[in-house]
Structure 1
């Protein structure tokens, strides 16, 4: 066999085996790497390079070395799942960088993290002022997790005391002009229904690039150049109603977040006056 053909054959074999090994080792090898997984990745890459290009007569020994690393890595992953001590040794421990709003200078030095690098990581979390952070920790992967102080955290429905029904994940039922039968079956829908909805939009199936249904059972379509259905143009009356609702919700929110009874009473008075004015406006419109 010519040497160039042997290199081609060995490279294809090595890539195939490396793909199988990566599947065995799991998704963590291609996402957030621990120190041990990082070393494993480098080693496997070097071994595959040896198998592909080394033209000596014992190149096949590289496959034995690969097998050994697979056993070692798989065994290490199993031990980390079963033992906290082993996990701390192989994966390392997380490091607290900010606690109770105070930066831990020694922790930054321990992780060899400069102030510029630290601020850059915070900006990636949409945090531009260190004083806004209550707690920050560097994970084993090197990523930094941040918890803002309560007064700087985004408002949620739970904080406001609102009870909201759960939202289901939109299901993609059409892709590249083809209906995904398994997803459609999971959604308990039929192809006839899909084609009927497409006819309402004056579209054919082969025109659809992406088609999804939401938790309400409504179909939305992307053709690659346009999206359907088109948003309806709301009337001035609908826009006024929406603005009124937003203002009323804003006043109610400020009332709930008021720090004392006096301020809370003022917001309640404003709410009552607002409702009186709106009631008079609605009567005038009718």
Structure 2
């Protein structure tokens, strides 16, 4: 067999083997791999390259070695899912680096971390002062998790006692110029509605690279031609503007009438509408 053909055959065999191993182990990004899994991955990759290039003449021996590594990794992964003790040994534990704004120097030394590396990790999280941190942990993956002190945390709608509607994931209704029926039916919209919305913006469906509908029913478009600018959806701002105009009209009616009963009605409804505007402004503002 020619050398190049042997490399092709070996490559195909090990592609199948590695595919099976990754399916057994499960999906993980590189950043989520533990140090142990990372080393196993490098070892399996190195062994595969050696066997594929023919540096290891016996193909069977290479297959045995890679399968042994793969089965061992899969077995340890299974044990880690079942046992916290095994997981702590295989993947490691999180290490406290900052507690109540105070750096744990002994833990830094234990993890071979310098103060410069810690400060760099904090800056990557947009934190520039150690005293602002309530708690910081070095995860087994090497990432630094940070909890800011309460006074340094950003405001949320809950802090302001604002009740916002539930937001659902946007549905992609056009991809690569092709209309997708399943996402449209998921959100209860029709092809006719989508075509009408495209006509309003003067866009042909074949010119749309990506189109999505959010939980409020607003359509956003991304065209193949990036030089063409599509205006942002205006339904919600227009609704807010209409509500404000109605409230202003009620105030004008109240000032323009001499009928006390009508005046009281206008004032009462103006106040109710203003309350509704105050509640809906965070939702309707773009």
Same fold (TM over 0.5): yes
Assess if the C-alpha contact under 8 Å between 2:177 and 2:208 holds in 1. yes
1:267 matched to which residue of 2? Answer: none
2:28 matched to which residue of 1? Answer: 28
Assess if the C-alpha contact under 8 Å between 1:34 and 1:141 holds in 2. yes
Assess if the C-alpha contact under 8 Å between 1:7 and 1:52 holds in 2. yes
- TM-score computed with the length of structure 2 as normaliser: 0.76
Q: 149-158 or 14-23: which moved more?
A: 14-23
Structure 2: any 5+ residue segments left out of the alignment?
A: 245-286
1:247 matched to which residue of 2? Answer: none
Distance 2:70 2:186 in 1: 37
Distance 1:142 1:6 in 2: 40
- 1:139, distance to aligned residue in structure 2 (A): 0.5
Assess if the C-alpha contact under 8 Å between 2:178 and 2:205 holds in 1. yes
Write out per-residue CA displacement over residues 116-150 of structure 1, whole angstroms, 9 at most, x where no aligned residue: 11111001111011111110000010100001111
Structure 1: any 5+ residue segments left out of the alignment?
A: 242-286
Write out per-residue CA displacement over residues 76-114 of structure 1, whole angstroms, 9 at most, x where no aligned residue: 111111111001100000000001111000011111111
Write out per-residue CA displacement over residues 148-167 of structure 1, whole angstroms, 9 at most, x where no aligned residue: 11111101111122222221
1:138 lines up with 2:138 in the alignment: yes
- 1:28, distance to aligned residue in structure 2 (A): 1.9
Assess if the C-alpha contact under 8 Å between 1:94 and 1:138 holds in 2. yes
Aligned positions, number: 237
1:1-286 → structure 2 map (5 Å cutoff): 1-28=1-28, 30-224=30-224, 225=226, 226-230=228-232
Assess if the C-alpha contact under 8 Å between 2:50 and 2:56 holds in 1. no
Q: 153-162 or 64-73: which moved more?
A: 64-73
Distance 2:201 2:77 in 1: 52
- TM-score computed with the length of structure 1 as normaliser: 0.76
Assess if the C-alpha contact under 8 Å between 1:221 and 1:229 holds in 2. no
Distance 1:228 1:141 in 2: 42
Distance 1:10 1:28 in 2: 26
Write out per-residue CA displacement over residues 246-276 of structure 1, whole angstroms, 9 at most, x where no aligned residue: xxxxxxxxxxxxxxxxxxxxxxxxxxxxxxx
Assess if the C-alpha contact under 8 Å between 1:136 and 1:147 holds in 2. yes
- The alpha-carbon distance between structure 1 residues 132 and 171, as it changes in their structure 2 partners (threshold 3 A), is same
Assess if the C-alpha contact under 8 Å between 1:167 and 1:215 holds in 2. yes
Aligned CA RMSD, in angstroms, stands at 2.2
- The alpha-carbon distance between structure 1 residues 6 and 51, as it changes in their structure 2 partners (threshold 3 A), is same
Write out per-residue CA displacement over residues 43-78 of structure 1, whole angstroms, 9 at most, x where no aligned residue: 110121122112554123212222222221111111
Partner SS, residue 159 of structure 2: helix
- The alpha-carbon distance between structure 1 residues 73 and 56, as it changes in their structure 2 partners (threshold 3 A), is closer
Assess if the C-alpha contact under 8 Å between 1:15 and 1:48 holds in 2. no
Assess if the C-alpha contact under 8 Å between 1:22 and 1:29 holds in 2. no
Assess if the C-alpha contact under 8 Å between 1:21 and 1:70 holds in 2. yes
Assess if the C-alpha contact under 8 Å between 2:220 and 2:232 holds in 1. no
